[in-house]
Amino acid sequence: MMKKTPSFIEVYKSLIKIPTVSSDNKSLDQSNKNFIDLLSNYFSDLNFSIKNYQIPYTNKFNMLASIGSGTGGLLLSGHSDTVDFDEKKWTKDPFTLTEANNRFYGLGTVDMKGFFAFILDVISSINTKKITKPIYILATANEETDMSGARYFIKSTNIKPDCIIIGEPTSLKLINAHKGHMSYSIKVIGNTGHSSNPDYGINSIEIMYDVIKALLLLKKYLKQKYRHQDFSIPYPTLNLSSIHGGNAINRICSSCVLNFEIRPTPGLTLTQIEILIEEKLELIIKKWSDNRIFIKKLFSSVPSYECSHKDNITKTVEKLCQLNSTTVNYCTEAPFLEKIAPTLILGPGSIEQAHQPDEYLDKFFIQPTKNIISKLINKFCY
């Protein structure tokens, strides 16, 4: 017997209701298993085959749902997790989909559990028996922390769709590129001593002064050497984010820590940046050969990403949706998913509301989003 298909709102509500917070803070981090199970049931009821993958060493899962056979087709992708939320700042329950002011409020309404409600709504209204190429739906884990879901997915799959669309909240703008992100911490260890006799110590702040000079040279080099005109800030940026060192006015500072980040433009790889950092710091590290300077990554790096304007898929989707592709200033899973197929980012709701208290989806996006998903499926799977 056919199950009665739940309405768009019922599905949306049920997806928001299940908490799937990802956090680097272990006490806040949650498994997404219940959410993945619910999503799997929804797609299974629409005759999709389901494969769920546990991310090694975690209690997190990716879901790949597929229907239709053969090569090519379309992959619609979203992340199943949300960021943590500040209870004091929310005026509504983050886990209750609340309709008000022509908006749907709730954690994940735009970023981005809501996207799956749109996909389910469109697919339940079409005849999937007539598709000639597969439709894939991917729900990833841990996008908001280390992107381990997407990283694991590209290693664990052999599917080759023609096109991948990530439904991040782009206000339905078509995105074909973003910068990457790398963050580092440099620790300098000196020797402490009374400040009245500088010869008795090694001042870590003075060594850090040389480190900073080298990093500022790197910053200048990146700005001069690399250019990507599609970005409003058309060069890779380097930001000195925080610095801590010293404790008493009459003490030679024994330890100083500097954190910094780099945002590479497409065309500049993570490896290239690592080499550049090494080159710039080489002389200082040699000078203090007794292990005084330590560099470590702060967070997992995300590469830059671009699906060229010249790529056939970019042109096809631009034409289909009557949109010109453009760039954004945040990172997504696209640099990983593009390893298996050309990837574009296009989804309902605004990034302005993502990671904010009282996150909401403007109802304005509902019909246009459903139209776009239908068009994409028609184009790539029929």
Q: What is the set of active-site residues?
A: 81, 143
Minimum CB distance to Zn ion smaller for 162 or for 333? 333
Q: Provide the minimum distance between the beta carbon of 108 and Zn ion in the complex, in angstroms, as a whole number.
A: 9
- Asked if residue 188 lies in contact with residue 215, where contact means CB atoms within 8 angstroms, the answer is no
Minimum gap (Å) between residue 112 Cβ and Zn ion: 5
Q: How far is 352 from 238, CA to CA, in rounded Å?
A: 24
Q: Give me the least distance between CB of 327 and Zn ion, in Å please.
A: 16
Provide the 3-class DSSP secondary structure of residue 103.
strand
Find out whether 174 and 344 touch, Cβ atoms under 8 Å. yes
| The dihedral sign for the CA sequence 116, 311, 176, 320 | negative
Shortest distance (Å) from residue 328 CB to Zn ion: 11
Nearer to Zn ion, 111 or 146 (CB): 111
Quickly tell me which residue has 């769709």 as its tokens.
Answer: 161
Between the CA of residue 84 and those of 87, 88, 145, 212, 213, what are the distances in Å? 9, 12, 11, 33, 37
C-alpha to C-alpha distances, 124 to 117, 299, 361, nearest whole angstrom: 11, 39, 22
Measured from each CB, the residue nearest to Zn ion is: 111
Q: Do the bridges between strand 163-166 and strand 343-345 make them parallel or antiparallel, or are there none, so unpaired?
A: parallel
Cβ-based nearer residue to Zn ion, 20 or 203: 20
Q: Is the peptide bond before 112 cis (omega within 30 degrees of 0)?
A: yes
Q: Compute the C-alpha angle 62/65/67, nearest 5°.
A: 165
By beta-carbon proximity to Zn ion, the closer residue of 134 and 180 is 180
**C-beta of 168 vs 359, nearer to Zn ion:** 168
Least separation in angstroms between residue 152's CB and Zn ion is 17
Positive or negative CA dihedral for 250, 256, 259, 264?
Answer: positive
User: Which residue number, 110 or 202, has a Cβ lying nearer to Zn ion?
Assistant: 110
Contact footprint for Zn ion (CB under 5 A): 111-112, 168
State the nearest-atom distance from the C-beta of 168 to Zn ion, in Å. 5
Q: How far is the C-alpha of 318 from the C-alpha of 181, rounded, in Å?
A: 27
